[in-house]
Structure 1
Amino acid sequence: MSTNAVIYVRVSKDDKGTSRSVGEQEKECRLACERRGWRVVEVLEDNDLSASRYARKGRPGYETLLDDLIPSGTLDYIVTWEQSRIARDDVKFGFFQRQCEKHGVAIHIASTGQTLDPDDMAPKILAIFDAEVSAQTSRRVRRALLDNAENGKPHGKLPYGYVKDENGSWQVDPVAAAEVRDMVAAVLDGATLYGLGRKYHRPARSIRSMLLSPAYAGILVQNGKAYQGSWPPILDVDTSDRVRTVLMNPLRRKTSTGPKAAHLLTGIGTCGKCQKPLRYARPKDRPATYRCPDGHVSRKATVVEDAVEQRLFDYFADQIFSRRLFYADDRDAVAAADRARELRQRLDGYVLKAAQGKISDESLELMEATLGPQIEQAREEAQQMTVPVLRKFAGVTDPREVWDDLTLAEQRDVIRETLLVSIPVAITRDTKGVNPRSLGAESVVVEPRLEACAANMKDRKYR
């Protein structure tokens, strides 16, 4: 009967080329198996993955070994280059060794030719030593990153728009930096990430992640704290703050890569029973309708669209609602972002004074209670002022005129940004069938999307 072995190889990171690659590890492990007549049934590899307690990524090979192969009952040996390949965490290694012992699987170390004895203390001591070495490495890395941050030295991936000079410092690439600025200007003007992706041949997610980076304003963040970088900025701080506010706005619509909608409420309105998006249907010889894809609700399209437009105009005429949405121009958005940042800096100053013992904890709590709501209010104002299509309605006396001049896509944007639309199931009247009123405009439920507006208007009836 043959003796079955699985080879496990792993390397975390080897920038200097001093560690054995997974290929070299596998070669040594195969030789060890050949010398002992063991049959290699599988080779599991985790490349560029750490095994320390600080690792953030999973290890697919290790997990397959632990969850599937060891409990299978078909395995006699696990062969690895050295013990630390399995784990640099004494707790994890101890658990792994107990699982092997439970299922009758032995661990063989190819570099030493040793098969580990579960009762031997040496592997346990080595696991503790490996864990401490890993902890020391982690502490050194954290100290180095903090030192770099305090001195404004960049670390991490080089952002698009920069190049490294002969000293390794970041310098602005004029051509790429101009593209970054164009992207930012387009986002602030209401462009979609999908549209920018098509223009610049980049995934929308990549553009979003790129423009959210504070590095473009010459700022680096370490452990949640911002530091002034030593490289030249591509964006000023105001512009960086504004584009981040736009992109992080939870009300910002998610763009679709599919065909453009041809009707006002397709995919925006929802079924009152199952909450699925409504579809537009035009049956032969019958009026067009908005209907639930599962058939729960259906209403005439003209009835639904007229009701939604009327509610929208009512809301725009309401001073409470419009005050939450409209500001005269972009300077107000800049002022709100400035105010939020200045208040945040003031609060950070009080936190520092409290840490230095210059003010009491009670004073700090008072300042947090006072400045905190002001910061949130300023951020909220800046956030809401960055929806360009809504600013077209600011200051107008008749929103219908603006509405009629918008494209269908812009009208859909307005509804998507401001309203929640749903159609409830029609109400029946005993034996007389459906109540006609339950199919009219009053049956279309239209509510403000902004929670703050909804709270201010909760006593008003707009159904």
Structure 2
Amino acid sequence: MDVIGPEAATRMQQPAGIEVAAYERVSKDESGIERSPEQQHEGHLDTCAQFGWAMSEKAVYREVGSASKYQRKARAAFDRLIADLRGGRFTAKVLMLYAINRGSRKTGEWLDLIDLCEELGIVFWVTIYDRIVDPKKPRDRKLLIDDASKGELDVAEMSQTIRRATAAAAKKGLPHARIPYGYRRIYDERTRKFVRQEPDPVEAPILQEMYRRVLKGESLRGIAKDLNTRGSKRRGGGDWNSQNIGFLLLHETYLGIRVHDPNRRSVYDPMTPDAVVTQGVWEPLVDKPTWLAVKRILRDPSRLTNLRPGAVIHLLSGIVACAKCSEPLRVNLKKRKYWRYVCVKNGCVNIDKFDLEEYAERLMLKYLETLDEYLLVDDTNTELAEVLAQLAEARSDYDDVTAAARARKDAGKAKSKFATERAMELEDEIADLEKREAELRTPSALSGLITPGAGVRREWADAAFSTKREIAKIILAPTPHGTLGLGQLRVEQIGPTGRGRKVMPIERTHFYRPEKSEVKRLR
């Protein structure tokens, strides 16, 4: 088999029905330059037809993916080829390749394939050489090894160039890879060079809504379901789910920063010591406190990212507790028609679900309505004092501007455009300052969930179930005296009450507050 060229291959006097196999691979190629596995297959079939060789579909090992040592995904087809050679399942006499670097760009991996083929008496047909290459022949073996080594060197040099260019772009804060959801990129129409990355008018508001809803305690699954129902799809047209929303919200891109961290596998992982973080050249879509709060929620180890059939669907499940044994109460269906909160572990107490939830809801809303009365302005809170001073000044300016406008109108003079614009600016400034004052006066634990005060009942009615549970966890937590909340609502055990008499929750509950905050994390 030391002859070369198609004419010589014909003189090999191989039987017309000789069995051949093919390994067909291409890296992900969006340029259209590289030959696809389908194109490679057509070329192999033409060669088989020319020489009378036989190749079945089962003897085709086909895949798309990198063969370099820098690739992260496993190559299932190549691994199957090696396994078949070692296991005696490979019965072909010729292994067809479009090019040697289609096999592997890792020298050690390629040597294993060469050795196996040499041992089993299998030869290679390399399409770009238009010839048979026999690993038993010294010169052919050298050709196979040299081309594989050259391919590995080319990939290493290319990888180094790309890494250096990417690192340099990262230091300048330039964007990289795919355009993130929520943004769009503008390129020069003539040169196609990057000009800027800016918020997408359709996607950016949806992304910002996701952050707000997670902060309010809504589940990722609930958010995804609502977005899909509204017809809001991902950029590729697919549906939203809890996994892709969570992955999206953890990207530092939305903080307006560029992170270059080649060794980091996922946004769920912390940055490595080699990470380079620079200020991006694009506008952030979310402020840092919001992003950090959402990050803390999504990375919480106790968070259930996949809701199971027995997921929590009751307002107080795991929050209220048994007064006798301190175990949390869960909901059971008694006699297939009575929903009850029960002490599952010891069976100490049980109480009607709807009575207890209605009672607890009344207590929480009353507490939230009057909570602002107990929130004193801390003299050491300089930010709140500054906001109050700015608010007083803005209100005073607004009163002066509107009074001057009324006086001008009463005098029969034309409306002042400056006064109108100034009044509108002051209205916006006052609204922002009032919002900031409410945030500073609201305990941080409740911030983003609900605003205590007169409008709390309306907010509660409109809140998602998951948000209500988050609020209940805070207000009914077993916290020490002097801290936010009422304490843990505990249900007492009662004896026989007599026929027809129903003991209401107010008669058999109390609030528990420990002296020290040494309590189990609520689930």
2:78 to 62, 68, 74: 62
Q: Secondary structure at the match of 2:23?
A: strand
In the alignment, the residues of structure 2 paired with residue 57 and residue 390 of structure 1 have an alpha-carbon distance, to the nearest angstrom, of 41
Q: Secondary structure at the match of 1:177?
A: helix
Q: Secondary structure at the match of 1:3?
A: coil
Q: Which moved more, 1:26-35 or 1:129-138?
A: 26-35
Q: Which residue of 1 aligns with 2:169?
A: 148
Q: CA RMSD in A?
A: 4.5
Q: Secondary structure at the match of 1:15?
A: coil
Q: 1:299 to 1:97 in 2, by over 3 A?
A: farther
1:189 to 203, 209, 216: 216
Measured against aligned partners, the alpha-carbon deviations of 1:40-89 in whole angstroms (never above 9, x if no partner) come to 12322212x10000001111221221223663142322111011001011
Q: Which residue of 2 aligns with 1:32?
A: 47
Q: Which residue of 2 aligns with 1:432?
A: none
2:31 to 16, 37, 43: 16
Q: Secondary structure at the match of 2:179?
A: coil
Deviation at 1:161, TM superposition (A): 1.6
Q: 1:241 to 1:219 in 2, by over 3 A?
A: same
Deviation at 1:37, TM superposition (A): 2.3
Which residue identity is paired with 2:305?
A: K
Q: 1:196 to 1:388 in 2, by over 3 A?
A: farther
Q: Which residue of 1 aligns with 2:483?
A: none
Q: 1:285 to 1:267 in 2, by over 3 A?
A: same
Query: Are 1:4 and 2:19 an aligned pair?
Result: yes
Deviation at 1:388, TM superposition (A): 4.5
CA contact (8 A) 2:212 2:448 kept: no
Which residue identity is paired with 2:156?
A: A
CA contact (8 A) 1:100 1:106 kept: yes
Aligned positions, number: 333
In the alignment, the residues of structure 2 paired with residue 407 and residue 93 of structure 1 have an alpha-carbon distance, to the nearest angstrom, of 58
Deviation at 1:456, TM superposition (A): 7.7
Q: Which residue of 2 aligns with 1:100?
A: 117
Measured against aligned partners, the alpha-carbon deviations of 1:384-403 in whole angstroms (never above 9, x if no partner) come to x98649988x9xxxxxxxxx
Q: 1:290 to 1:74 in 2, by over 3 A?
A: farther
1:226 to 265, 277, 290: 277
* Map 1:17-166 → 2, pairs under 5 A: 17-42=32-57, 43-47=60-64, 49-68=65-84, 71=87, 72-112=89-129, 113-118=131-136, 119=138, 120-166=141-187
TM-score by length of 2: 0.54
Deviation at 1:413, TM superposition (A): 5.1
Which residue identity is paired with 1:182?
A: E
Which residue identity is paired with 1:114?
A: I
Q: Secondary structure at the match of 2:181?
A: coil
Which residue identity is paired with 1:241?
A: L
In the alignment, the residues of structure 2 paired with residue 8 and residue 286 of structure 1 have an alpha-carbon distance, to the nearest angstrom, of 65
Deviation at 1:36, TM superposition (A): 2.8
Deviation at 1:132, TM superposition (A): 0.7
Q: 1:3 to 1:233 in 2, by over 3 A?
A: same
Q: Which residue of 1 aligns with 2:6?
A: none
Structure 1 unaligned segments of length 5 or more: list them.
270-277, 310-326, 330-334, 336-384, 395-405, 420-452
Which residue identity is paired with 1:142?
A: R
CA contact (8 A) 2:215 2:449 kept: no
CA contact (8 A) 1:263 1:280 kept: no
Q: 1:284 to 1:249 in 2, by over 3 A?
A: closer
Query: Are 1:302 and 2:350 an aligned pair?
Result: yes
Measured against aligned partners, the alpha-carbon deviations of 1:364-418 in whole angstroms (never above 9, x if no partner) come to xxxxxxxxxxxxxxxxxxxxx98649988x9xxxxxxxxxxx9986686579897
In the alignment, the residues of structure 1 paired with residue 376 and residue 124 of structure 2 have an alpha-carbon distance, to the nearest angstrom, of 72
Q: 1:256 to 1:147 in 2, by over 3 A?
A: same
Deviation at 1:260, TM superposition (A): 6.3
Task: Tell me the percent identity.
Answer: 23
Query: Are 1:236 and 2:287 an aligned pair?
Result: yes
In the alignment, the residues of structure 2 paired with residue 285 and residue 31 of structure 1 have an alpha-carbon distance, to the nearest angstrom, of 73
Q: Which residue of 1 aligns with 2:511?
A: none
CA contact (8 A) 2:331 2:339 kept: no
Q: Secondary structure at the match of 2:332?
A: strand
Q: Secondary structure at the match of 1:187?
A: helix
Deviation at 1:15, TM superposition (A): 3.1
In the alignment, the residues of structure 2 paired with residue 304 and residue 139 of structure 1 have an alpha-carbon distance, to the nearest angstrom, of 67
Measured against aligned partners, the alpha-carbon deviations of 1:283-309 in whole angstroms (never above 9, x if no partner) come to 4799979799xxxx774662899xxx9
Q: 1:37 to 1:267 in 2, by over 3 A?
A: farther
Which residue identity is paired with 2:214?
A: V
Q: Which residue of 2 aligns with 1:212?
A: 250
Deviation at 1:216, TM superposition (A): 1.3
Deviation at 1:197, TM superposition (A): 0.8
TM-score by length of 1: 0.60
Q: Secondary structure at the match of 1:160?
A: coil
Q: 1:8 to 1:416 in 2, by over 3 A?
A: farther
In the alignment, the residues of structure 2 paired with residue 238 and residue 61 of structure 1 have an alpha-carbon distance, to the nearest angstrom, of 47
Q: Secondary structure at the match of 1:108?
A: strand
Q: Which residue of 2 aligns with 1:254?
A: 305
Which residue identity is paired with 2:254?
A: Y
Which residue identity is paired with 2:284?
A: P
Q: Which moved more, 1:409-418 or 1:185-194?
A: 409-418
Q: 1:266 to 1:101 in 2, by over 3 A?
A: farther
CA contact (8 A) 2:218 2:464 kept: no
CA contact (8 A) 1:288 1:300 kept: no
Which residue identity is paired with 1:116?
A: D
In the alignment, the residues of structure 1 paired with residue 50 and residue 320 of structure 2 have an alpha-carbon distance, to the nearest angstrom, of 68
Deviation at 1:94, TM superposition (A): 0.7
Deviation at 1:174, TM superposition (A): 2.6
CA contact (8 A) 2:67 2:106 kept: yes
Q: Secondary structure at the match of 1:39?
A: coil
Larger radius of gyration: 2
Measured against aligned partners, the alpha-carbon deviations of 1:130-160 in whole angstroms (never above 9, x if no partner) come to 1111100110110111111112211111112
Q: 1:299 to 1:77 in 2, by over 3 A?
A: farther
Which residue identity is paired with 1:144?
A: A
Q: Secondary structure at the match of 1:9?
A: strand
Structure 2 unaligned segments of length 5 or more: list them.
1-14, 189-193, 229-239, 262-274, 322-329, 358-374, 378-382, 384-442, 453-462, 479-513
In the alignment, the residues of structure 1 paired with residue 285 and residue 317 of structure 2 have an alpha-carbon distance, to the nearest angstrom, of 40
Which residue identity is paired with 1:171?
A: E
In the alignment, the residues of structure 1 paired with residue 19 and residue 320 of structure 2 have an alpha-carbon distance, to the nearest angstrom, of 59
Which residue identity is paired with 1:95?
A: D
